[in-house]
A = this chain, B = another copy of it.
Amino acid sequence: MEQEFASSLLENAVRELSRLPGVGRKTALRLALHLLRRDESEGVALGQAIIDLRQGIRYCSVCHNISESEVCPVCASPSRDRSTVCVVENVRDVMSFENTGQYRGLYHVLGGLISPMDGVGPDMLEIDSLVERVAAGDITEVILALSATMEGDTTNFYIFRKLAPFTDLRITQLARGMAVGNEIEYTDELTLGRSLLQRTLFTDSFRS
């Protein structure tokens, strides 16, 4: 289809927009026409923000979180607890934990989970660099904060074995149990059984 849109600029924008996940050609056209209806400055700001994002962001050399500098703000902060490392799957999980406001330690972003089905092996993840960080000596606790899925469990276990030689290291994982707000009636048996086995002192819930 030559010049379907009577404008190569529009054609080009639609093609690039439709590369985004969940954006088909029709949606891309709708977005492009929306941009044309709005102020020029708004469209230019969007385009520039995307370019800046892609050119300016790199990955922290310590924890592999996204960063604008060699070392990310979390790793560089003097107020964070440098003895605790929370191991997460990806950058978005870092944001989730930061948004809880409950964590003051450091992170380690694996960049994925071990998944033979998807062809992701341990060597494709930042596991060796985690072992190196632990070997350096300052870390006393590693929190395995991965999804409660088959892939998460596999990765947890692989990391656990890799870190086993560090006998002084405390290796913990996220509590598994009922989600806050859930009803027993609608909670699956596995989760219910787990939450029963790992029950906590009622008085502990007063500490926040």
Contacts and interface: CB of A to CB of B under 8 A. Distances in A.
A43 B50 contact: yes
Contacts of A171: none
B51 A47 contact: yes
A5 interface: yes
Which of A17, A20, A30, A48 gathers most chain B CB within 10 Å? A20
B54 A36 contact: yes
A51 B15 CA distance: 14
Which of A49, A74, A91 gathers most chain B CB within 10 Å? A49
Interface string A48-59: 111111111100
Contacts of A128: none
A16 to B, nearest CB: 4
A65 B6 contact: yes
Nearest to A40: B54
Interface stretch (A92-100, A113-121, A175-183, A192-200): A92-100
8 contacts: A8-B68, A13-B49, A21-B30, A29-B92, A33-B91, A40-B55, A46-B47, A47-B49
A49 B92 contact: no
Given A46-B16, A50-B46, A94 B6 contact: yes
Contacts of A31: 20-21
